[in-house]
Structure 1
């Protein structure tokens, strides 16, 4: 498969996945998306994960390339290390061409859920979330797994 070879070449090994193998965003303007995702990933302290080629940008399990037709539309939530990182994400996203979809602040999803939302250049709903000191870096999936059936 062409995508699997590209993922391996970018340092993403789909054979070692636990649940989410990768997120593939198909975008209308690759250069605008590269600027946007470089800015937000660097604001979240994840700049070292960024890999780029002329036809893509990748970071961890995230793969971005140009759409052949219409771009995809997804909701993608990045982990943030604290509230300040969420605020940096929001500011960087807006400065890099994103549109506000919810400023940094507490959300009612659970106590301590602090997040910001932006629309990326292609209309993807991009979030940075910190689950509060009580939850630390634990993801929503890890929390559900610990709670059991």
Structure 2
């Protein structure tokens, strides 16, 4: 039997959302990222980004004229108050309720809120509770 310690780092390199109204999306995402203490990375003609999320207008060369469709993105929150703040901020900046802040049955301590962004994407902020703040390493046994 062999045991290896595997560290994967990030699973996702980046995500691109193609949106109908770049201005409405930028207003929405800039507000929720501020609520989550995530800095905006930058903006340009027909796009903006934060961390590894890139949002482009439908007429940008990267979009190929096609919307990305409905997605579910979950952003990490530092605590329950941040989840609550995310939810209120999202509603005040063009988001629609898709699940008020509260405990979910996914695992003990899972506290989340869900909103629908201006393009119909299901956007979540989640705090996994104090018990989940452990190492990111995975141990695989053969």
Unaligned runs of 5+ in 2: 1-8, 59-64
Max Rg structure: 2
Cα-to-partner distance string for 1:17-41 (whole Å, 9 max, x where unaligned): 7421101101010000000000000
Unaligned runs of 5+ in 1: 1-16
Moved over 4 A (4+): none
**Are 2:115 and 1:127 equivalent residues in the alignment?**
no
Q: Which has the higher contact order (CA 8 A, sep 6+)?
A: 2
Number of equivalent positions: 127
Name the CA distance, whole Å, in 2 between partners of 1:137 and 1:81.
Answer: 14
- Closer, same or farther: CA 147–98 of 1 in aligned 2, 3 Å: farther
Q: TM-score, normalised by structure 2?
A: 0.82
CA RMSD, aligned part only? 1.9
Greater Cα shift, 49-58 or 122-131: 49-58
Name the CA distance, whole Å, in 2 between partners of 1:53 and 1:95.
Answer: 24
**Are 2:21 and 1:29 equivalent residues in the alignment?**
yes
Contact 1:86 1:129 in 2 (8 A): yes
Contact 1:28 1:70 in 2 (8 A): yes
Contact 2:19 2:56 in 1 (8 A): yes
Name the CA distance, whole Å, in 1 between partners of 2:21 and 2:134.
Answer: 32
Cα-to-partner distance string for 1:119-148 (whole Å, 9 max, x where unaligned): 00000000000000111377xxx4xx6364
**Are 2:53 and 1:56 equivalent residues in the alignment?**
no
User: Which structure carries more helix by proportion?
Assistant: 1
Contact 1:79 1:137 in 2 (8 A): no
